[in-house]
Structure 1
Amino acid sequence: MTAVVLLEELKKYIEEHTKDIILSVRVKPSSEEAKERPAEVHKMRLPDKEGETKRIPYILLQFLTGKDKQEEGESPESECKIRIIVATYSEDGGEGAMDVLNVLTRIRISLLKDGVVGEQFLIKKPLEYIVYPDDTAPYYMGEMLTIWEMPEIEREVRNIW
């Protein structure tokens, strides 16, 4: 399986495990849009540059690196790193940062409890996360760095020597 499949499965997994966390949305005063909703989940990038603030709250899944290795006498290993970015909005500074921590905590607990996403991708430790201390009010961000054990890709050509 590939990192592309992992991103698809992780998107579905995170949507399912965060759908009941209702977060504030910045709207124009004359707008009749919803003022709260669950975070949207996106893969790799947001749909457009303006989305960095207009689409908040969101969760962004970004592939960072992948590695295939095999030590002598060992089984082959394949892993990749996925960054999970969480962005929220709030007029209350303490609440905005807590919203980020709440979403990250929900994802963290779910991943550690289940240990697997999509039946073939295993989460590995360490699992690192941070709520950015920067003063970016009324927007708040944090991220989690995850490492995934990927299924092996079997060689189709035999060694002839």
Structure 2
Amino acid sequence: MTPIVMLDQLVERLKSIVSNFELPSNVEGVKKAPQVLAGYLPEKRQNQDQPDLPYVIARFLGDNETDEQATATVKIIVGTYSKDQKDGWRDTLNVLTRIKQELLARPVFGGSFLVARPIKTELPEEHPYPEWWGTITLDVIIPQMEEEGGF
């Protein structure tokens, strides 16, 4: 199993977790569930009528293979939109918390991948208002490569 397969399976899991949210978007009057993507957001275009916020991005950071197990480090980035300068951060934290709770309650996804503890959640102090963002960083135990042949 490759990290790409793992990310694609994680995206499917994240879609099911956030599908019931109805959050403000960066298009006036439009509320929607976050779009969920692997890697990066597509390039923004001027006069865009499709909102790019809110979003959830699953990003591969690296992997580690030992004799005991193989793990991949993933960062889940959540972005929301709110013009409320006092409480705009709440939607981001709510989405992050729901994702974390669901991954801890059911840590196996895609049949072969296991979310490992610890899970780290961060909500930075600075935000590009009216956009708000936060992250979850976690390790996923992935199937280990088997050595073929001998010397």
TM score, norm. by length of structure 2:
0.90
- Do 1:59 and 1:86's aligned partners in 2 also have CA atoms closer than 8 Å? yes
- Do 1:123 and 1:146's aligned partners in 2 also have CA atoms closer than 8 Å? yes
Residue 69 of structure 1 corresponds to 66
Q: By how many angstroms is 1:38 displaced?
A: 0.3
- Do 1:79 and 1:150's aligned partners in 2 also have CA atoms closer than 8 Å? yes
Q: 1:114, 1:17 → 2: CA distance?
A: 11
Q: By how many angstroms is 1:92 displaced?
A: 1.0
Residue 132 of structure 1 corresponds to 124
The AA in structure 2 aligned to 1:41 is: V
Residue 57 of structure 1 corresponds to 54
- Do 1:121 and 1:149's aligned partners in 2 also have CA atoms closer than 8 Å? yes
State the secondary structure of the residue aligned to 2:12: helix
Q: 2:59, 2:134 → 1: CA distance?
A: 13
Structure 1 window deviating more from structure 2 (99-108 vs 88-97): it is 88-97
4+ long deviations beyond 3 Å: none
Question: What is the CA RMSD across the aligned residues, in angstroms?
Answer: 1.7
Q: By how many angstroms is 1:152 displaced?
A: 1.3
Q: 2:32, 2:44 → 1: CA distance?
A: 21
Q: 1:39, 1:137 → 2: CA distance?
A: 18
Do residues 152 (structure 1) and 149 (structure 2) align?
no
Residue 40 of structure 2 corresponds to 45
Q: 1:102, 1:9 → 2: CA distance?
A: 22
Q: 2:127, 2:87 → 1: CA distance?
A: 13
Report the number of matched residues. Answer: 147
Q: 2:8, 2:100 → 1: CA distance?
A: 18
Consecutive unaligned residues of structure 2, counting only runs of 5 or more, are none
Q: Deviations over 1:85-124 (max 9, x none)?
A: 0000011124420000000000000000001111211111
Q: By how many angstroms is 1:49 displaced?
A: 4.8
Do residues 107 (structure 1) and 105 (structure 2) align?
no
Residue 31 of structure 1 corresponds to none
Q: By how many angstroms is 1:45 displaced?
A: 1.2
The AA in structure 2 aligned to 1:111 is: L
- State which structure, 1 or 2, has the greater radius of gyration over its C-alpha atoms: 1
Greater percentage in helix: 1
- Do 1:63 and 1:81's aligned partners in 2 also have CA atoms closer than 8 Å? yes
